[in-house]
Amino acid sequence: MNLSQNDWTSQLKDDNNAIILDVRTQEEWSEGIIPGAILNDIYKGQGFIYRLEELDKTKNYYVYCKAGGRSAQACSVMNQMGFENTYNLEGGFMNWQGDVAFTEEN
């Protein structure tokens, strides 16, 4: 499901079962992240799938990338794999108005 920046943020804030998933590259990750996000680079192909298989499908996943395209694709893949609740951040990180964290870890 695609959510606007405001809807994504407000829904996430009230969600006790939320996981934030960043599907950008490591280089993009190092430029700043939405606090609490975990990295799973969609460009890793099968590696991306393997990491998805390790995740708890009962959680609610708030997914973002730079502009919203890769994260929409990631949500589609996740839905096909049995993830019921995936939320794509429309406009992605480049339009993000919330807090930003900087980390070298993923």
Would you please indicate which residues are annotated as catalytic (active-site) residues?
Answer: 65
CB 65 within 8 A of CB 71: yes
Distance separating alpha carbons of residues 50 and 32, to the nearest angstrom: 24
Distance separating alpha carbons of residues 50 and 36, to the nearest angstrom: 21
**Contacts (Cβ under 8 Å, ≥6 apart) of 16:** none
Closest to 27 in 3D by CA, of 82, 93, 99, 98: 93
